[in-house]
Structure 1
Amino acid sequence: MLTEQNKQQIAELYSKRTFSLKKFLLVIIIVPVIFFIGVYTGQLGNTTVNTTNDYGQVVNIDSRPAYLTKNIDFNLLWQTWNLLKSKYLHQDKLNEVELFYGALAGSVAALRDPYTVFFDPKVALEFTEELSGQFQGIGAEIGIKDNHLTIIAPLPGTPAEKAGIQSGDKIIAINQLDTTNISVDKAVSLIRGEKGTKVSLIIVHASDNQPIKLEIARDVIKIVSVSWQMKENKIAYLKITHFNQDTGERFKEAVNQIINQGAQKLIVDLRNNPGGFLDVAIELGGYWLDDQVMVKEMFYDATKNKDYKTVGNPILKSLPTVVLVNGGSASASEILAGALQDYKLATVIGETTFGKGSVQELENLSDGSAIKITVAEWRTPNNRVINEKGVEPDIKVERNYEDPDDNQLKEALKIINQ
C-alpha cells in the first residue's frame, strides 16, 4: 500500500513531467453483486481478560458472516443483470459482452489468488503469444510478492532491461494508476501495447525506498530462450531465459554443440528466467537425470498427487555443473535448479529464487477466452516446498550491479575451476 510520503513523491514526479501521456481507456466492468472480490474468513469478537498478562484475546475466529452460511439462488445473477440493464444511468456505455466477461472475471477474482485469473479472448491470445516466444510490450515478467506488484525478471535486451528495471523492483503506479490490489493480468494489460507507444511506471528498486519515474517505449519482444558460449578451460556457459515452446529444440542443439566442442564443465544460467512450460523443464532435466523423479505435484486431494520422472539420455550427468539463480528465477527455473540440487548434480550459486511453486492449468473456453487455475503446488524430489520459499543457493552471492564483469558469474567460474 502506498504511504502518504510515496503518494506525495509520485505527485511531484508527475507534476514535473514535460511529456504527454498516451491515455489508456480503462473500462470499468460492473460485476454482479453475487461475485464479491473480498471474502471474509473470520470476525473479531469480544475480547476476554487474560488474568496472566492482562492482554485481550481473539475469540470466534472460526465464525463466518451469516450471509456466507446461506444458500444462494443463482437467479440473483439475472436479477442483478436486469437491474443494470433497466436502471443504470449510462445505458449507452453498457456493453453486455463486457458485463458478461466481468461477471466471469469477478467470480475468479473472489478466490484472491493472483495466479488464478480469467482471460477474455484478447488477453488469452496475448498470453498464448508470449508462450510462443513473441509479444509487444516492454519485456518484463511481473508477479505478486508480499502483496506488491513485483518485477520477476526483465528479459535480456528488452526496453525494460535498457531502462534499468531489475528483479525485485516494486511497481507502485502504472500511468498514474495506483497498483495496490491490482491483479497481475490487469497490470499486464496496462503495461503492454503497440510498438512505439509509451508506458509510464513508478517503481521502487529493491535496494532503495525512493520511487522513480520511468517512461518506456514498447517494442516487439522476441524471446531467444537458449544461447551459449565456450569460456576458458573448456567451460560451457549456457543461458536459458525461458521455458517456451521452442526451448527444448534449442537446448538440444546447444547441448550437441557443447559436447561436440569438447566442453568439460558447464555453467547453466537461470537468472531472471521466469519459467514457462513444465514439460519443457522435465525434458531439460532428462539431460542430467536418468528416469528419476524431477518434481512432485501436490494436490488438495492427496490421491491425485503425482511424481514426474525424466525420460531421456543424461549426457550432461558426467559434467561438473554450476547453476546460477537469483530472485528472478521462478517456476520451471526453480524446478530444474531444485532437482539438480537435490540429486547433488549441480552447485547452485547466487540468490534465493522467487518462490513461484504453484501449479496453474490453462483451460481454453469455447469463445476464445480462458481460465488459468491454480490446481496444485510443486515440490522438489526431496519434498522441499518451492512456493513462497524459493530455492536457497548452496553458495550465496549477491549481485553487484556496479561490477561490469558480473561478480556472480565470476564466482561461478572460480568455483567450477576448483
Structure 2
Amino acid sequence: MGFMNKQVFRVGFSLLMAFWLAFGTLTQPAVALTGEQKLVSEVWRIVNRTYLDETFNHQNWAAVRQKVLEKPLTDSNASYAAIGKMLKSLDDPFTRFLDPEQYRSLKVNTSGELTGVGLQIVLNPETGKLEVVAPIAGSPADKAGIRPRDRILKIEGVSTKNLTLDEAATKMRGPSGSLVTLLIERDGEPETEIKLTRDRIALNPVVSELRVSAEGTSIGYLRLTQFNANASMELAHAISSLEKKGAAAYILDLRNNPGGLLQSGIEIARQWLDSGTIVYTVNRQGIQGSFEALGPALTNDPLVILVNQGTASASEILAGALQDNGRAQLVGETTFGKGLIQSLFELSDGSGLAVTIAKYETPQHRDINKLGIKPDKVISQDPINREQIGTEADLQYQAAVELLKKDLVVAGKA
C-alpha cells in the first residue's frame, strides 16, 4: 500500500460517485478564536494540507484566509457564507462545504437506501449545468426514461443555475409518494417537463442470471448497478452460484453504473484477477498509492464488460483495471470520465467539507478524467428500456455474446 492508502484512505470510506468522498475526523485548533472563526480556520487548514492544486488556483491561500477573518462573523450562517466564498475562489465545483443538514443527508444516502427519484447527478465543471450521470435501476427516474447526460434545468420550477449539487439533491428528495417536477434538456430534443413520484429506493446492486445461447453456450450475466457496501459480497455469491450452474463465460454489465464505495470496487476487481495493480492514486506531491490484486480469482473464465457514457468513477476503475490487465474486453461506448478523488471531513460543528485531494490512474497510468475509457469494441445504440436489456434489441449485449463465443472456440470450450 502506498502513501495515499495510509494517509488518506485509512480514515474511512472513499466513495466514487459523481464525486468521491472519505469520512475522517480532525484535531481541534489550539488558537483561541470565536466558534465562527475556528470553523473558517478549520476549513482553511484542511484545504491547505490536502488540496490537489498546490497553487490554490494561482492565488495566495494564506491571504484568502486573512481576508475572510478580517470581517466579523456574527453567527454560523455568516461563517458558512464566508467558507463558501473562500472555497469558490478555488474554482472547483467538487470542493465544497456542506451544512450539518446536508452532511447528515449525505451520510444517510451512503447507507444503501434513500427516498427520492433515484438520480446520480454532477455539476459539469465546463458548462456549470446540473447533469445526470445515471438513473438508479428501477427508480422513478429510470422508469420515466431519464438518461445519462440529460441536463436538469429546473426542479419544481426553480432554476438549477445557482444551486449547488447538494441543494439540487435536497430539492429532489422528499417523502415517498410525493410529486416532483423536473425540466430536462437533452441534445437534439426540445426541453421536456417530467413529473416523478418519489419512492423508497433499495439499492440492491446485483442482478445475475445464467443464460444459455442457441448453440448451448452457458454465459453468466451479471449486472452491477452501484458499488454499495453489499456489492462485493453479493457479486461473489452470484459468481459462485453461476460457476456451480456451469457458466463457461461471463458478461459484467456496468452500463449506467455511477460508482460507489472505492473499497467495493477494489474488492470486485480482485474477484477477477490473480495478480496485478488495480488502480494508482496521485496527490499534489505526485506520490502514488496503489491497490493490488491478492489472488486467486474466483473464476478465470472469459469476461466481457459492457460500458456506456453512464459508466462512471468506481465503474471506470474496475473496467480500466480489468482492461489494462488483459482480463476483460470492453464493449459499448466511451465511459463518463470521472478521475478526481474528493475526501469528506466532518467539522467540529457537525458540518462537512469535501475537498479534491487526488486523481486516479488505471494500471497503465491512463488519466481518464474528462476523457473516459474507450471500449475494445465500440458499439453505439439508441437508449433502450430496462425490459430490453440483454435481449435482441440490446446491440451491445449481443456483441458481447459474439465475442465470448469466439473466445470459447479459441479456448476449445465451445
1:277 counterpart residue number: 261
* Percent identity for Structure 1 against Structure 2: 34
Give the counterpart of 1:389 among 357, 371, 374.
371
SS at match of 1:245: coil
User: Contact 2:240–2:298 (CA<8 Å) still a contact in 1?
Assistant: no
Task: Give the TM-score taking structure 1 as reference length.
Answer: 0.76
1:175 counterpart residue number: 156
Determine the C-alpha separation between the residues in 1 that align with 2:185 and 2:65.
46
Give the counterpart of 2:69 among 64, 69, 77.
77
Tell which structure's C-alpha radius of gyration is larger.
1
Displacement of 1:278 = 1.3
Q: Which amino acid aligns with 1:191?
A: M
SS at match of 1:285: helix
2:397 counterpart residue number: 409
Displacement of 1:71 = 4.3
Task: Give the TM-score taking structure 2 as reference length.
Answer: 0.76
Q: Deviations over 1:48-107 (max 9, x none)?
A: xxxxxxxxxxxxxxxx99x9799467475363435xxxxxxxxxxxxx333333333333
Q: Deviations over 1:182-220 (max 9, x none)?
A: 4322221222222222222111224x2411111212111
Determine the C-alpha separation between the residues in 1 that align with 2:84 and 2:316.
29
2:131 counterpart residue number: 150
Give the counterpart of 1:358 among 331, 336, 340.
340
Unaligned runs of 5+ in 2: 1-39, 42-56, 407-414
Alignment of 1:20-169 (within 5 A): 71=63, 74=66, 77=69, 79-81=71-73, 96-145=75-124, 146-147=126-127, 148-169=129-150
Residue 327 of structure 2 corresponds to residue 341 of structure 1: no
Q: Which amino acid aligns with 2:178?
A: T
Give the counterpart of 1:259 among 236, 239, 243.
243
Residues 69/347 of structure 1: CA separation in 2 closer, same or farther (3 Å cut): closer
Give the counterpart of 2:310 among 328, 343, 348.
328
Structure 1 range deviating more: 225-234 or 175-184:
175-184
Structure number with the bigger relative contact order (C-alpha 8 A, sep ≥ 6) is: 2
Displacement of 1:390 = 0.5
2:234 counterpart residue number: 250
Determine the C-alpha separation between the residues in 2 that align with 1:221 and 1:109.
33
Determine the C-alpha separation between the residues in 2 that align with 1:269 and 1:258.
15
User: Contact 1:400–1:407 (CA<8 Å) still a contact in 2?
Assistant: no
2:200 counterpart residue number: 220
Determine the C-alpha separation between the residues in 1 that align with 2:362 and 2:237.
27
Q: Which amino acid aligns with 1:201?
A: L
Q: How many residues are paired up? A: 341
Residues 106/137 of structure 1: CA separation in 2 closer, same or farther (3 Å cut): farther
SS at match of 1:210: strand
Residues 193/111 of structure 1: CA separation in 2 closer, same or farther (3 Å cut): farther
Residue 291 of structure 2 corresponds to residue 308 of structure 1: yes
Residues 217/292 of structure 1: CA separation in 2 closer, same or farther (3 Å cut): same
| 4+ residue segments displaced more than 6 Å | 67-70
Residues 402/242 of structure 1: CA separation in 2 closer, same or farther (3 Å cut): closer
User: Contact 2:68–2:82 (CA<8 Å) still a contact in 1?
Assistant: no
Displacement of 1:181 = 5.1
User: Contact 1:290–1:313 (CA<8 Å) still a contact in 2?
Assistant: yes
Q: Which amino acid aligns with 2:223?
A: K
Q: Which amino acid aligns with 2:402?
A: K
Residues 290/390 of structure 1: CA separation in 2 closer, same or farther (3 Å cut): same
SS at match of 1:287: helix
Determine the C-alpha separation between the residues in 2 that align with 1:250 and 1:69.
45
Q: Which amino acid aligns with 2:239?
A: V
Determine the C-alpha separation between the residues in 2 that align with 1:251 and 1:309.
19
Residues 130/290 of structure 1: CA separation in 2 closer, same or farther (3 Å cut): same
Displacement of 1:306 = 1.4
User: Contact 1:277–1:332 (CA<8 Å) still a contact in 2?
Assistant: yes
Structure 1 range deviating more: 159-168 or 108-117:
108-117
SS at match of 1:132: coil
Determine the C-alpha separation between the residues in 1 that align with 2:342 and 2:177.
32
Residues 181/209 of structure 1: CA separation in 2 closer, same or farther (3 Å cut): farther
C-alpha RMSD of the superposition: 2.6
2:27 counterpart residue number: none
User: Contact 1:400–1:406 (CA<8 Å) still a contact in 2?
Assistant: no
Q: Deviations over 1:306-360 (max 9, x none)?
A: 12212242122x2110000111110010001011111121110111111011111
Q: Which amino acid aligns with 1:309?
A: E
User: Contact 1:137–1:218 (CA<8 Å) still a contact in 2?
Assistant: yes
